[in-house]
Amino acid sequence: MKLSKKDTTLNEQDALQDLLDCEKLLMNYYAVALTEGSSVPFRKQILKHYTAHAETQFRVFEQMLDRGYYEVQPAPKMAIDQNVEKFDKIKKQLAI
Question: Is the pTM of the predicted complex or chain greater than 0.85?
Answer: no
Triad 86, 89, 95: Cα angle to 5°: 140
Question: What backbone phi and psi angles, to 5 degrees, belong to 75?
Answer: -80, 135
For the chain, the domains span 10-95
Poorest-confidence range of 5-14, 24-33, 52-61?
5-14
31-68 pLDDT, tens digit each: 999 999 999 999 999 999 999 999 999 999 999 999 99
- Contact status, residue 17 vs residue 64, Cβ threshold 8 Å: yes
